[in-house]
Amino acid sequence: MLVQIEGVLTAEQVAQARLLLEQAPWVDGRVTAGHQSAQVKDNLQVPEGCPEHRTLGDMVLGALERNPLFISAVLPLRVFPPLFNRYDPGMTFGAHVDNAIRQITGTPHRIRTDVSCTLFLSDPASYDGGELIVEDAYGEQRVKLPAGDAVVYPATSLHRVAPVTRGARLASFFWVQSMVRDDGQRALLFDLDMAINRLRGDIPETHPSPVQLTSVYHNLLRRWADA
């Protein structure tokens, strides 16, 4: 299930993020790549633990906690501290699958990567190329979103970043361990949650259907969740 989420960051937060990224140091993006990914990865990354990384990470995590669509689509149990990358002209990231388990730097904690997320930070008109290309059962999904918008998709998906040919592509990327590890089950819960929300807007508040469907939602979540 691939879901696009509008307005994770406000315009003011995007501007602040870009300013911090201008001030941040950059290192070879392969520092966080697994063996296979390192063979096809060519980008730059803000080092984990530097002041800019901590400030930006807190901003993104706070925004995610306040975003109901993100919560509904992902059902997060644990979120990997957000990372930040840049693709300059000629840079790309070839086809790969994300590591199943990620160690959180500087801690003994690990997360299972059920869901991958990219949060776009550059105006799409400011660069050419750089689309996130995700392969699923319906073919290739090409994603290039306005600054502040995000996309979430199964971490099991084969995906890549098209070469940037002009400008610079700035983004945050991270992974989520979901309370519901199975993507098909998450998709069913997401569709049911969206239907319940639409129904509440279409019928009287006293109608019993939303209550009954909400009961179904939570009983399914209770059956499938690891929390």
Annotated binding site for 2-oxoglutarate: which residue ranges?
169
Distance, in Å, from the CA atom of 198 to the CA atom of 213, rounded to the nearest integer, reads 12
Name the binding residues: 96, 98, 159, 169
User: Which long-range CB contacts under 8 A does 201-206 form with residues at least 24 apart?
Assistant: none
Q: What's the Rg (C-alpha) of the chain?
A: 18
Q: How far is CA 167 from CA 69, 89, 123, 129, 164, in A?
A: 30, 6, 10, 9, 7
Distance, in Å, from the CA atom of 131 to the CA atom of 50, rounded to the nearest integer, reads 28
Name the binding residues for Fe cation: 96, 98, 159
What angle, rounded to 10 degrees, do the helices at 209-224 and 183-202 form? 160
Distance, in Å, from the CA atom of 73 to the CA atom of 66, rounded to the nearest integer, reads 13
